[in-house]
């Protein structure tokens, strides 16, 4: 079902191996060499498929195509609905460069792409329709990317590791101002993320009820004092703006989450990581949540430009944006990570990395990757709660490759 050369050549290869192949041409513009190869191998050209195929190869449009699909393509997809689909380069009907959708599109079981991953493979909502993505390196000279996805070696190279002479203060002190009498668990989980071992010390400043919980669960956590980074906002309720202003007085990098995001203008232009989910980002930008969910890459970039700082948009594919840098997308994680308190843990992890010396862009993207892998490890294929994710973080760090020269 294609006019694309790659798909026609794939059909020719399958026909030479003994498969029965039909090509349904949906356009008069056909790749001549691919069509000739298909016919020479015994493949047939048809104007309609009258039976359910075992596999559909989607080459309706190439990477230069833009949604929406033409009516004849939509009709063709309806007739083969239910058959496994292998997409060539990207599923037809998605916006390759933005990951956005507009109308019907192919939902592939497998996408085979060439040279490099495209934004549509990585960024939702299009990424949900790519299935498993198999990259084939064909030796292309590639331009600088607009979107990146960190891999284990990248995270290992970024991760601050203590030298032999390190002590708790040289490794960084992270402070947490989170939780309240209304939401004590949020403060406890923020501390749990911060206390994963990536920084040398954690300080907690906040509600006495939360402090009692923190001391019981994390006796190594201490009280007020000098810090290299703050984590602010999770579960702070009405006190969020006040705690944010107190943290800003120390003039150190900070993570701004949850209720404190309503005061995000206070941190514009400062070294910070704002960590909204789609609803919170919609409120920050004064747009409907549905707009953020339909165009997450666009909106996270818009928020980063507006606030002149780093923005981490939480979701199935978490995005990190900073002005002048490629957006980074987190591909680690599990659907079980959609659980209460997981964002509180994430904020603590990112804060620990800030305190340990990473700049906000790297702290946000590496922290998100570690958080996702820890959830997968803790889950073991089943349900997971936020506290399990925090406890799994040290084991994840231990599995990372040791960077050369360290």
Region 320-335: mean pLDDT is 97
Banded pLDDT at 405 (limits 50, 70, 90) = low
Phi, psi of 327 (to 5 degrees): -65, 145
Banded pLDDT at 158 (limits 50, 70, 90) = very high
> Same domain for 234 and 102?
no
Tell me what pLDDT residue 337 has: 97
Per the domain annotation, does 107 fall within a domain?
yes
- Given 115, 143, 171, which residue is the final one in a domain? 143
Tell me what pLDDT residue 287 has: 98
Residues of the chain above pLDDT 70, percent: 99
pLDDT at 2 over 60: no
Per the domain annotation, does 58 fall within a domain?
yes
Give 366: exposed, middle or buried? Use CB within 10 Å, 0-12, 13-18, 19+. Answer: buried
Segments forming the whole domain that contains residue 362: 152-399
pLDDT at 406 over 70: no
- Given 126, 143, 160, which residue is the final one in a domain? 143
Tell me what pLDDT residue 26 has: 87
Residue 404's Cβ-side half-sphere holds a number of Cα atoms within 13 Å equal to 0
Question: Per residue in 206-219, pLDDT tens?
Answer: 999 999 999 999 99
> Same domain for 290 and 333?
yes
> Same domain for 303 and 166?
yes
Per the domain annotation, does 115 fall within a domain?
yes
Give the contacts of 141 (CB within 8 A, at least 6 positions apart). Answer: none
Tell me what pLDDT residue 229 has: 98
User: What's the structural domain count of the chain?
Assistant: 2
Per the domain annotation, does 405 fall within a domain?
no
Residues of the chain above pLDDT 90, percent: 89
Tell me what pLDDT residue 401 has: 87
Q: How far apart are CA 376 and CA 388, in angstroms?
A: 10
> Same domain for 204 and 237?
yes
Tell me what pLDDT residue 284 has: 98
Least confident of 235-239, 307-311, 360-364: 235-239
Q: CATH number of the domain that 311 lies in?
A: 3.40.1190.20
Tell me what pLDDT residue 31 has: 87
Per the domain annotation, does 167 fall within a domain?
yes
Q: CATH number of the domain that 67 lies in?
A: 3.40.50.10260
Tell me what pLDDT residue 402 has: 81
> Same domain for 59 and 178?
no
Q: What is the mean pLDDT of the chain?
A: 94
> Same domain for 23 and 168?
no
Helix (H), strand (E), coil (C) string for the chain: CECCHHHHHHHHHHHHCCCCCEEECCCCCCCHHHHHHHHHCCCEEECCCCCCCCCEEEECCCCCCCCCCCHHHHHHHHHCCCCCEEEECCCCCECCCCCCECCCCCCCCEEEEECCCCHHHHCCCHHHHCCEEEEECCCCCCCCCCEECCCHHHHHHHCCCCCCCCCCCCCCEEEEECCCCCCHHHHHHHHHHHCCCCCCEEEECCCHHHHHHHHHHCCCCECCCCCCEEEECCCCHHHHHHHHHHHHCCCCCEEECHHHHHHHHHHCCCCEEECCCHHHHHHHHCCCHHHHHHCHHHHHHHHHHHHCCEEEECCCCCEEECCCCCEEECCCCCHHHCCCCHHHHHHHHHHHHHHCCCCHHHHHHHHHHHHHHHHHHHHCCCCCCHHHHHHHHHHHHHHCCCCCCC
> Same domain for 205 and 116?
no
Per the domain annotation, does 404 fall within a domain?
no
pLDDT at 1 over 70: no
Tell me what pLDDT residue 403 has: 74
> Same domain for 86 and 180?
no
Per the domain annotation, does 100 fall within a domain?
yes
Question: Per residue in 226-280, pLDDT tens?
Answer: 999 999 999 999 999 999 999 999 999 999 999 999 999 999 999 999 999 999 9
- Given 124, 143, 162, which residue is the final one in a domain? 143
Question: Per residue in 42-73, pLDDT tens?
Answer: 999 998 888 899 999 999 987 777 788 999 99
Per the domain annotation, does 406 fall within a domain?
no
> Same domain for 168 and 48?
no
0.85 surpassed by pTM: yes
> Same domain for 196 and 134?
no
Tell me what pLDDT residue 307 has: 98
pLDDT at 142 over 60: yes
> Same domain for 160 and 102?
no
pLDDT at 38 over 90: yes
């Amino acid at each position: 079902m294609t006019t694309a050369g790659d798909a026609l050549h794939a059909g020719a290869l399958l026909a030479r191996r003994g498969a029965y192949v039909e090509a349904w041409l949906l356009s008069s513009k056909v790749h001549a060499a691919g069509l000739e190869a298909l016919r020479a191998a015994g493949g047939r050209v048809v104007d309609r498929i009258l039976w359910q195929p075992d596999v559909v190869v989607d080459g309706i449009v190439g990477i230069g195509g833009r949604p929406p699909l033409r009516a004849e393509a939509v009709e063709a997809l309806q007739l083969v609905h239910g058959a496994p689909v292998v997409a060539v380069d990207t599923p037809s009907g998605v916006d390759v460069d933005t990951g956005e959708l507009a109308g019907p599109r192919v939902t592939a079981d497998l996408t085979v792409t060439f040279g490099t991953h495209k934004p549509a493979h990585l960024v939702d909502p299009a990424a949900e329709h790519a299935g498993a993505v198999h990259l084939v390196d064909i030796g292309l000279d590639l331009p600088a990317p607009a979107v990146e996805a960190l891999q284990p070696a990248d995270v290992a190279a970024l991760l601050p590791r203590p030298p032999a002479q390190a002590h708790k203060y040289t490794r960084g002190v992270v402070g947490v101002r989170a939780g309240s009498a209304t939401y004590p668990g949020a403060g406890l989980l923020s501390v749990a993320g911060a206390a994963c071992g990536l920084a040398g010390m954690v300080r907690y400043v906040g509600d006495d009820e939360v402090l009692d919980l923190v001391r019981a669960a994390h006796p190594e956590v201490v009280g007020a004092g000098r810090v290299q980074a703050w984590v602010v906002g999770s579960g702070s309720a009405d006190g969020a703006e006040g705690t944010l202003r107190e943290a800003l007085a120390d003039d150190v990098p900070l993570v701004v989450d949850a209720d404190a995001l309503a005061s995000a203008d206070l941190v514009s232009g400062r070294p910070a990581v704002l960590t909204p989910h789609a609803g919170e980002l919609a409120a920050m930008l004064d747009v409907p949540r549905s707009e953020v969910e339909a165009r997450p890459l666009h909106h996270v970039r818009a928020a980063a430009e507006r606030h002149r700082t780093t923005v981490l948009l939480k979701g199935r594919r978490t995005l990190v944006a900073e002005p002048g840098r490629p957006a980074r997308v987190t591909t680690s994680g599990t659907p079980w990570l959609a659980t209460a308190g997981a964002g509180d843990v994430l904020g603590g992890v990112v804060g620990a990395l800030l305190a340990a010396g990473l700049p906000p862009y790297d702290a946000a993207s590496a922290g998100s990757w570690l958080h996702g892998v820890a959830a997968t490890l803790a889950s073991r294929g089943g349900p997971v709660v936020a506290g399990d994710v925090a406890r799994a973080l040290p084991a994840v760090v231990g599995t990372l490759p040791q960077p050369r020269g360290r």
